[in-house]
Chains A and B, each alone.
Chain A
């Protein structure tokens, strides 16, 4: 551990010539120390790669979306060929879709969102011995009450654990404990994270709870997501359209 502290400090602070000489000398003369330096760099390299891979996924999503937009923005005169080629079956399909879409209300959207995104959680995240992982296991087995107790226990011991707050909120939402879910999502939304779904989950919960005043609150939260370009902006736009 002492070596790690020394190595971490060396790479992350201003160095004097003496610092550099001492570090070099240890790398060249102490094999165990050199191994620790190699481990420190390799581990950080992998962590950075994983962070960058996540960003690349997001970039790909943006790229695909922009491609769709640019296709949709092509001149109208080119579209007639496509329209002419559309068959009666396609028109019937569109009509059927239109009927479904017309009946689609915000609550249905929220229910479908929960159905699509909150049935199973992060199965590949963390080890089997990790308490969060155990709680996720319970969630995925459908033992929601037990999972919630575990998530709450993790939060009690580690109030800064944003993942536990997110999962506790999702579990409460699935259990239809809307007030509790809102509390977790609001706490999550106030944590400064690179990517934070807290606000969008709060809006989904408000729509689902549907108490007097909830629609207005949901609209405000959704508008904030859109204005501040927060996580879930695209979904927020869709949901806001349905509320309006």
Chain B
């Protein structure tokens, strides 16, 4: 596997599409997944993973890479292929470690890990302890009890769309209206979860 230390220009189009929204982004995500899908077979041979495990590692790798590209964490100092290959290998190693230690734990998405980095260690410990007490299953059930437009709005925001972009897509008057509605939805979820 060549270690591309230079940013490869051909990746630029894909990166730009991933940073857009709606169908262009979806198409780029699927294109990225398809382009390096042969990693799955490599993972099966190199790490003796089952096809399902290698698929999981590869899918997680693509999702993390997409997030890092969209949020700007991917600094474009290596080619996408090299960058993906590193993430994929780490995911495979994590998977083996998880298998051998049989540790499940609560999965924290890359986005939340990124947000957690915004607070100091002392505050992080307090928040993490409180998060560990959250009943994830009940929260999931309550989330599904929200109205469809609420869930759609929250999902679009989680997807990385700004309030302005959500306003355009869902035909709301302004970004401010979306922000207020979105936070009302979250507040409703909190009430549903509490009572």
Q: Which residues does A use to contact B, with CB under 8 Å?
A: 1, 4-5, 8, 10-11, 15, 20, 23-24, 27-28, 34-52, 55-56, 58-60, 62-63, 66, 124-127, 130, 132-133, 158-164, 191-196, 228-231
Q: How far is it, in angstroms, between the C-alpha of A51 and the C-alpha of B148 when the chains are bound? A: 14
Contact in complex: A192, B122 (CB < 8 Å): no
| Contacts A24-B123, A44-B158, A196-B22 supplied; 20 other A-B pairs, CB < 8 Å | A10-B118, A20-B120, A39-B190, A44-B112, A44-B115, A45-B108, A47-B143, A49-B107, A59-B59, A124-B144, A126-B151, A127-B145, A130-B147, A132-B148, A158-B149, A163-B149, A192-B22, A193-B22, A193-B23, A230-B23
Q: How far is the CB of A129 from chain B (nearest CB, A)?
A: 8
Q: How far is it, in angstroms, between the C-alpha of A4 and the C-alpha of B21 when the chains are bound? A: 26
Contact in complex: B63, A191 (CB < 8 Å): no
A-B contact count (CB 8 A): 180
Contact in complex: B21, A192 (CB < 8 Å): yes
Q: How far is the CB of B22 from chain A (nearest CB, A)?
A: 4
Contact in complex: B119, A23 (CB < 8 Å): yes
Q: Given A41-B112, A42-B136, A62-B34, check contact A160 B170 (CB 8 Å).
A: yes
Q: Given A49-B107, A52-B109, check contact A4 B148 (CB 8 Å).
A: no
Most central of A125, A133, A194 by chain B CB within 10 Å? A194
Q: How far is the CB of A135 from chain B (nearest CB, A)?
A: 10
Partner of A46, one of B122, B123, B139: B139
Q: How far is it, in angstroms, between the C-alpha of A11 and the C-alpha of B155 when the chains are bound? A: 17
Q: Which residues does B use to contact A, with CB under 8 Å?
A: 21-23, 25-27, 29-30, 33-34, 37, 40, 55, 59, 62-63, 107-109, 111-112, 115-116, 118-120, 122-123, 126-127, 130-131, 133-134, 136, 139-140, 143-149, 151-152, 154-159, 168-172, 179, 183-184, 186-187, 189-190, 193
Q: How far is the CB of B91 from chain A (nearest CB, A)?
A: 13
Most central of B146, B186, B187 by chain A CB within 10 Å? B186
Partner of A42, one of B29, B62, B139, B170: B139
Contact in complex: A34, B126 (CB < 8 Å): yes
Contact in complex: A191, B171 (CB < 8 Å): yes
Contact partners of A42 in chain B: CB under 8 A: 131, 134, 136, 139
Contact partners of A34 in chain B: CB under 8 A: 123, 126-127, 130
Interface of B is mostly: helix
List the 3 closest A-B pairs by CB distance, nearest first.
A160-B171, A38-B130, A127-B145
Q: Given A43-B143, A162-B170, check contact A125 B127 (CB 8 Å).
A: no
Contact in complex: B186, A43 (CB < 8 Å): yes
* Cβ-closest chain A residue relative to B190: A39
Q: Given A1-B184, A24-B122, check contact A41 B116 (CB 8 Å).
A: yes
Contact in complex: A126, B190 (CB < 8 Å): no
* Cβ-closest chain A residue relative to B183: A4
Partner of B147, one of A58, A60, A126: A126
Q: How far is it, in angstroms, between the C-alpha of A48 and the C-alpha of B190 when the chains are bound? A: 17
* Cβ-closest chain A residue relative to B108: A45
Contact in complex: B171, A39 (CB < 8 Å): no
Q: How far is the CB of A174 from chain B (nearest CB, A)?
A: 20
Q: How far is the CB of A207 from chain B (nearest CB, A)?
A: 22
Partner of B26, one of A127, A160, A195: A195
Contact partners of A191 in chain B: CB under 8 A: 169-171
Q: How far is it, in angstroms, between the C-alpha of A231 and the C-alpha of B116 when the chains are bound? A: 35
Contact in complex: B136, A46 (CB < 8 Å): yes
Q: Given A34-B130, A45-B108, A163-B148, check contact A5 B119 (CB 8 Å).
A: no
22 pairs across A/B with beta carbons < 8 Å? A4-B183, A8-B183, A24-B122, A24-B123, A27-B119, A39-B190, A39-B193, A41-B115, A41-B116, A42-B131, A42-B136, A44-B115, A46-B139, A48-B158, A51-B155, A58-B30, A59-B62, A126-B144, A126-B146, A127-B147, A194-B21, A194-B156
